Amino acid sequence: MSSARSEAANCELPVLRKTLRLCEDALSAVSIRPGADVADRLVKAFVAKATRTLKAIILLYERGLCEEAQSLVRILFELHVNCSMVILMLHQDMTDACRRLLDSVMLAKIKQQRATHLRGLEAAPGAPSRQVMEKKEGAIASRYTPGECEALGKHGFSGKNMEQRCRTLDKRGGGTGFSDTYNVVYRNFSRNVHSTDIVESLLNVDPPLVSARAGDLVESRDQVACDVVLTIALSMVDALNREFGLGLDSRLTEVRRLRMRAASQ
């Protein structure tokens, strides 16, 4: 079953490919604005990774690797949440949002190096010394309260875990459905990422053992996954289109109509 594409994936692939082209064109059309260059580059970096992830998802579906694609659907959703949080925070305070994002990245790198007792730094030309890294860590810590610094190091720039980010976006992000997608899709697909869902594995090697309607289960799973991918991709393009005035309204409408036609087949 894992070597053949499901009907749901077959039906959605043309829409997914068209959506990928739209994402790529939107990304190319983004111009870095004076006075917002750091913020714009950060947003563009998130969308660029999301676009590459979408391309990888399509490649997996084309080869019938639908279960493997679920791991990337989970990644795409996390990218969507993080990008949406960044945009929300940028609108509230651009300087603070950029600083928090860059500080959280540095804290994560320092934490990773400390876990290895900073071994190997001497082997990388130009790598900062232990003293330099500790000095940077101290400078970052001085900008926040101890609680804020701990949250930044544990959960990243937002200081919130994934579930909290979704709730925040549902309340203040101008959109809805983040928490529902987190509970229904993210949690379920996480079991596949961590290889703890034996049912998914059994569906591939012995479907009748799982259920007499194993085929229906796979179709339902893949339909939900494709719907989530399309919703995320179109939402990110829509956000870019509004933020940067890309003039992609008609193409967004076209893809949405194609999606509706595919869903009705």
**Residue 95 included in any domain:** yes
Tell me which of 26-40, 72-86, 140-154, 208-222 is least confident.
208-222
Q: Other C-beta atoms within 10 Å of 108: how many?
A: 14
Question: What's the whole-model pTM score?
Answer: 0.87
Establish how many alpha carbons lie within 13 A of residue 224's alpha carbon, considering only the half-sphere containing its beta carbon: 16
Q: Is the pLDDT of residue 123 over 70?
A: no
pLDDT of residue 190: 79
Strand, helix or coil at 28?
helix
C-alpha closest to that of 107 among 128, 75, 146, 138: 138
Give CA angle at 77 (74, 81), nearest 5°.
140
Tell me which of 21-35, 64-78, 111-125, 126-140 is least confident.
111-125
The residue range of the domain holding 36 is: 7-264
| Residue-wise pLDDT tens digits, 219-257 | 888 888 999 999 999 999 999 999 999 999 999 999 999
Tell me, what DSSP letter sits at residue 118? T
Residue for token pair 């300087």 = 95
**DSSP line for 146-172:** HHHHHHHHHH-TTSS-HHHHHHHHHHH
Q: Is the pLDDT of residue 57 over 80?
A: yes
State how many domains the chain has: 1
**Residue 30 included in any domain:** yes
**DSSP line for 125-151:** TTPPPHHHHHHHHHHHHTTS-HHHHHH
**Residue 55 included in any domain:** yes
Q: Pick 134 or 85 by higher pLDDT.
A: 85
**Residue 2 included in any domain:** no
Tell me which of 3-7, 178-182, 218-222 is least confident.
3-7
In sign, the C-alpha dihedral spanning 47, 52, 53, 54 is positive
**Residue 257 included in any domain:** yes
